[in-house]
A = this chain, B = another copy of it.
């Protein structure tokens, strides 16, 4: 059940119609690890920060029993910073700035004692680095990977190579369409499966998510939130909840993959209710399970006898 997470660690400055946050803890590996930490502990994190990375963030991650032996600290460098602005339609965001800083030369070196990790979550980084991570792992049981438009457009061949080594690809609907040049999402998902992963999850924001495997299609609803404060990190929280549940239960059956999608959706729904990672700071398993049951209430119906 050992879970390894690789991705960015960032300080995010985010503006939404509901407020603003500055230099908040963020980055894909942070959201994934924190979300997963409600299911398994410790979570092994591989990432990079500069000497300016606030000590309080390290302390918080440690409080979630996240193993930071894989977090490289470049003392004379600066941490990756990202700035974005969301509009009333929270599906649209503008990137205001991207200062890669130490993340620009990120070289994910896996500590020896992480190399036996069974569950691997590859946050959205260069597919070349994703593959480099996998080449350092002995024999993972499950590899879950994320990607984005930028890599689909600039490194299609490298991404295709890396995808051959993924078991589950997590993308959003526009990424699925871009990756396959196929407007129909079901067809797009099946095309992705023919490219390597045995399963694909298509996240559809306010419309929920689809899980497609060789022989299953599962449609997960979105949690009906009336107030979404900040969508930042929703996708990564999804990935963390998803792989966290699988690593906890060590059950890769179709029925358990469905539950994992709901746990992913659950963590994503908590994430967007407050700014940054705030709402993921003090969850507990009971709260999470309660919302899991709400998802059931939301989508289940019976056949009239």
Please list the residues of chain A having a beta carbon within 8 angstroms of any beta carbon in chain B: 88-89, 183-187, 190, 204, 206-208, 210, 217-222, 224-228, 249, 251, 255-256, 258-259, 261-262, 292-293, 296, 298-304
Most buried by B among A89, A185, A208, A299: A299
Cβ contact within 8 Å between B226 and A304: no
- State the copy count for this chain: 2
By beta carbon, the residue of chain B nearest A221 is B219
* Top 9 A-B pairs, shortest CB-CB distance: A219-B221, A207-B207, A258-B301, A186-B224, A217-B224, A299-B299, A186-B226, A219-B298, A187-B226
Task: Out of B256, B258, B298, B303, name the residue touching A217 (CB < 8 Å).
Answer: B298
A297 to B97 alpha-carbon distance, docked (Å): 44
What chain B residues lie within 8 Å of A220 (beta carbons)?
299
Cβ contact within 8 Å between B304 and A259: yes
What chain B residues lie within 8 Å of A89 (beta carbons)?
183
Cβ contact within 8 Å between A299 and B219: yes
Q: Given contacts A207-B208, A226-B184, are A249 and B304 in contact (CB under 8 A)? A: yes
What chain B residues lie within 8 Å of A293 (beta carbons)?
303
What chain B residues lie within 8 Å of A304 (beta carbons)?
249, 251, 256, 259
